[in-house]
Structures are given as C-alpha cells and as structure tokens.
Amino acid sequence: MALFYFRKSRLFLPRVIGSFLLVLAMVMFVVTAGDMFDSWDAMSKYPDCLARIGSETDNVAMMKYLDCKDSLYNITGMQLRPDQQKITSRQFAIALLRPIGGLLAWAIVFLLGLFFYHTKIVRPEPTPLERPVQKKRKRK
C-alpha cells in the first residue's frame, strides 16, 4: 500500500502519478497533433511554392527554390534531392509516420495514466485466526 501524507491529507501515490501522466499525455497529444498538421500543410503546399517560382533560372528564383526546400526540411525533416521537384508518395507517408507514431505513443501514455489513476487500495479480509479479539465492555 503506497499511502503518503502531505500536510494532513493522505495521498495514494499511484493516483498522483496517474494524474500527472494524464495531464502530460493530453498536452503532448495536442503538441504532436499540431506537428502532424504542420507537416501535412508543409508537404501539401510545397508544389504551390515551386509553382510560384515558375521556370525562372536567375539567382532570385534559386533563392526562392532553396527557401521552399529549407522550410520543408525544417518542418518535416525531409531532405529532397537537388533534381527532385515533387514529393513522392513514399516520402509523404514516411514524413507523416513520425507524428502519427507520436500520437499513438501519447495515447498509450494516456491509457497508462488512466490505469494508474483508477487503481484502488485492496485490503484482504483477515481470516478468523488473524482477527483481533475484541474485549467485551462491562455494563454499568
């Protein structure tokens, strides 16, 4: 039994750990979902970024192209080859697997927190031999 005292109240340690895990999992689930939507948005807007450059070959166009590639790399971590103009479906899926895996991992932490939070103290019933003998009160 893991009861601890904080001031005058008793704390059940698994319940405290479970509540912290629940809050942490909810916050990190939202953060990871934001990363997933940012990755999706960056990959879906990459062709539009390249289309705005057009077929120009001057230094300004090259800087715009490098800016598009750098923003894609910074958001998703996906590095494209210099001759690659489009994102392949395999690259698209792999870039989304990391945030989706993070979502699933934080969902598991949330369930673990629920298990800890809903634990109860189980005290076995004493056997007849272990029960303390109660003294009889004398009537006055």
Q: What is the pTM of this model?
A: 0.69
The top-scoring range by mean pLDDT among 62-76, 95-109, 119-133 is 95-109
| Torsional sign, CA 126, 127, 129, 132 | positive
Mean pLDDT, rounded, of the chain? 83
Give the CA-trace dihedral at 4, 9, 15, 19, to 10 degrees: -120
The top-scoring range by mean pLDDT among 18-22, 49-53, 81-85, 129-133 is 18-22
- The per-residue pLDDT for 120 is 74
Give 3-state DSSP helix, strand, coil % of the chain, rounded to 5. Answer: 65, 5, 30
